[in-house]
Every structure is written in structure tokens, then in C-alpha cells.
Structure 1
Amino acid sequence: MGGNRRAIMDEQDKAERTLSARIEAEIADSFDEELEMEMDDGRLERLLDGRDRDGDAGLLDRQVYFKELFRLQRELIKLQDWVVNTKAKVVVIFEGRDAAGKGGVIKRITQRLNPRVVRVVALPAPSERERSQWYFQRYVPHLPAGGEIVLFDRSWYNRAGVERVMGFCTESDLEEFFRTVPEFEKMLVRSGITLIKYWFSISDDEQHLRFEMRIHDPIKQWKLSPMDLESRRRWEDYTKAKEAMLEHTHIPEARWWVVEADDKKRARLNCIHHLLSQMPYQEVPRAPVALPERVYHPDYSRAPVPDDLYVPEIY
């Protein structure tokens, strides 16, 4: 009897160790998602000049970055739960020059969140029909309902930026935009939406470097459109447009926040930390979760799956 009992305990202990190892492997795999993106960023820089800029003085240490990023992502999950629980409505706008890092921080915000709660809106150029509508009309359907967070990867501020610089709107259109935006955003806030606006600021030299990296990297060349290249030529025009935009649309109800973005890692951490600080979220208590017992039917047998239905196991 004693031997049988020890054997059973050994089997249970082995099963627990196996389960623990699998859980650790899953956690490591989850962290690898972020590592893959970081390695990709570094690969671009090494392609360009053969050195690892993470070793440069002044750039954020990789270990510190990962530690803080994962901590902040846990807080984002708490924020998500709070938004769902309180039926809060949140809009976050990300604006900035091309290659300023808006997409990178959006990826890190959404990486571990529920896409049914937190969604990204990145609208293409307006259609002929949309150009004949009230300017804000195509953005309104994407605003959040209760319990949702919407991240705008560029927004209605296209009119104050690319449309103005590239001549896609008239001076009259621009004047009406500046007259309307404060009222429009005040209406959003009065309706219960929390509106947060970020401008990602990079230097002339840094944008030049990031464009060069995209040119030399076939995996990311698709990110360079003719419009991006033209925006590089019109750097000063974009600067003037940005200054006018901030002057006309920085209002108490929906102020702008500038993110220094020459260092991508610092920009991501600073932006996420600040976003969390703007919300009065609290951890929502969760009921303990227990897996139900698996139901077994003695008459059930799994039907065979034809071999030609399987994806070939190349790896």
C-alpha cells in the first residue's frame, strides 16, 4: 500500500512540475512577442550602420525597459477592467510627424488587451462621398460606447497637418476647422468621453535616420509612401502647421500632451505611464476562477481526421 501511495504522489508531483514548466514556457512565449518587435527595431539600425544603438550613451537600458513595460502593461489590464466595469468612454489621439513612433506605442498599449474593449482606428484618405460630408462625420461612428477605449492613429487633426501642408484643403476649410474643433471636442467631453491628445515630437535628424532605415529595409519599405517622402521635404511647413494646430486646439477640456520621441523606448514608457495617470482607475476585484470538471461520455469516440487536412509540419 505504501509503495502504491508513493507512486501516486510521484506521478502527481511529476504532473505538477510538467504543468508548471508549460505555464512558464507560455509566459516566456508571451514576452517573446515584445522581444521580437524590439529585435526588429534593432535590426533596422544594424542594417543601416552596423552597430547596436542600444549601447549608445543616453538610451534606455533594455532590461529596465522590459521590466517597466511589462509592469505598465499589467496596469493597462487593470485600466481595461475598470473601463468595462464603470462603462467609461475613452478616446486617445496619437498625432505626430511620419516615423515619430505613434504606431510603436499603440502596439505596446494594445498588445495584451482585449480588442473588443480597446480598438485602434486608422482611417484611410477620405472617399469622394466623405469629402462632401461634414468634416467630422466619418470619425463620429468610431467614437466609443460605454466600456470602450478607442485609439486614433491619426485623427481629425489630419486637416491641420497633412491636408494643410499638401494643399488638400482651402484656407476657408482650415479656418472652419480651427473654429469647430474646440466646440466639437467640448461636446465629446460633455457627453462623458475622456479625451486625451498626444503629439509625438522627433528631431529633424531622428526622422532622417528613421526614413533611411526604412529605405534600407525591405521588410519595412512599405511604410514609406510618396506622401511620407514629400513630408520629409516639407519639414518646416509641417513645423508651422503643428505650431498653429497647438495654438488653436489646446483647450482646458482637451489639452495636448507632447511626447519627446527621439528615444523610442522612453517615449513608449512615458506615454503609457502618463495615459494611466490621466484615468482614475482602480483594480476591479475578480471572482476566483475554477475550471469545471471535463464531461466524459463513454459512447464518444473522436472521428479520424484525414491527413490532407493538416498543415504540413515544416518546423
Structure 2
Amino acid sequence: MLVGQPGTGKTLFATLLGSAMEQEFDLDAPLLIPVRADFDEAELIGYERLDGTVHLQDFAREILLDDAPLEARVVIFEEFNLASVETYLSAVLVATQERERLVRLPNGEVANLPIDTFVLATCNSFRDEPETRTRVSSPTKRRSTTITMPNVLGDRYEDDPDTAVAGVIEALITNERNRVEDRKSAGRASQFDSLRLTALRSVSGSADFSAEAQQALVSVANAVLETASGRSWFTLGILRDIVMALVMAERDAVAELTALGNAVADKLVHQLRGTHSDVQPLLAASATLPNAEEIGRLIDQTMAGPSDELLPLL
């Protein structure tokens, strides 16, 4: 189980690890299963229709009924704990502890869970998001290895505050440019990818932004990262979204500062956590942005509660 804040790279890590295992050991491609809040065993394994026929899901067809059960397979559960894990995975969890590793299918047939079925699950913490995530039970945790994904951006800031943000901007832009170019070369370009590429090719790093935008971006990011709470939730994923807003703007100071201000209002303020004092540096850093008044009003709303704790706007 990969646990961490949104934007720490849980899904990317799971996907890359699955692809690496596929190439290194000549495996079939990983099976990706997106979990929803109402996910249950019928959605994972299958169900019996009203006419008596059986519909089997991908997990049953590709894993439980695999023609080559001795070959390893990788299964990725995305948003593992959006639903109660035991609601949909109980039969599989029991099978992992049995000698025969049996799972009963909806038609009464018994299948075997291959012994080398590697499950990667991405989770957001119940503690951080109790409204949308479920607790992971002790039996599930005992059968799992829990890996806490580090917030690389927060760690970089603690090691070197002066270069933590500026040092990753070029990599974020390059990665996004490569992603869009890969789609285009594979014939999977979307309708707006040509516009994205035009913007992405206009910058290679923060030096291609106006001096005003460069300074404001670093000031805003550092204002969040200088607080302990900010270093816990301000991730590379959020910074990437802000940088991409700047990339897509026209190449002049006013347009870039406007894009940055909108990104602060859209991406940062809604993530704020901690105490009232934690937002004061962000307020100061945002004072020169075109929508500083809007950002101030939004931050005031986060401080409108009876305690010193910031209230989430959403």
C-alpha cells in the first residue's frame, strides 16, 4: 500500500514499477483497477445476471482464470480505500492465507489466486481525508507492506530552501513536454495538444518566465513551504499545476502574474491546513499579485472558524 498526500507520485510510482516488472521479467501488462466509493465484490470478481448467465470482471478473467497461473501478474488498485477494502477484497484476502488459495466465482466455480500476484494499492490517508476515505483494517494492514510516500518537495526545502523550488521547475516542464510529445508521436494526440506543445516549447525553465513571475512564484511557494504544515501537503504535483498555469500564459509579466494569482486562488488556498499563523507568509507573498484581494478574501474564509485551525473551503 502506497500512502501519501495527493501529488506525491503514488500512482506514477505504482505504474512505473508495474511497467518495469513487465519489461524486466517479461510479464503481461499490469491490470489497473480504479476503485470507486460503491465498489464491491461484484465489481471486482463478477456477478450473476437475472437470466442466470455470469459476467466475470477483468480480475477474474485475467488473474483468477489465467491460463498460465505460474506466471507472475501485477495488479494496481487505484484509490484503494475510497471503498471499504473488505467490501470488495475479502475473498482475495482470505485466499492469501489459505494453502490452496481458493476464490469462489459467482457461478459456483472455484478458482485459484496465483501465488505470484503482486498487488500495488494507492491510498490517501483516512486521517487527512475522513470525509472521502475509509479506514484500512488491521487484517488488511497485516497482509500488506505499507510504504509512506515522501513529499519530495518538502524534503528538498528542508535541505536547501534557496533552490528547492527553482531547482525542479525545469524538470516539471520537461516531463510534461515529453508526455505530450509521446502522445503525439504515438498518434494519440488530443485536440488541444498542439496548443500545449506550442506553450511548452516556449519555455525550458524558470529563466524563460519574466523576472517578476520568477520572483513571485518562488516567494509564494516558499511562503507555504516555510511552515511545517505546508511541507506536509504542498507537493510536486501541486507545484506542477501552478507551473503549468504559468507555461500556458502569454510570455509577458502581466499575463504570467495573472496566471500565477489564479493558480494560487485555485490550487493553493483550497489546500491550506494548519493554524492562522501559517497563512500569514502566503498572504504577504501574494500581496503583489493582480488578484491579491480575492486571495485575501478566500484566506479570511479559512480563518472564519471559532478555533485557531484553518477551515477547508471545500
Shorter-normalised TM range: under 0.3
How high is the TM-score relative to the length of structure 1? Answer: 0.28
Query: Relative contact order, CA 8 A, sep 6+: which one is greater?
Result: 1
- Computing the radius of gyration over CA atoms, which structure comes out larger, 1 or 2? 1
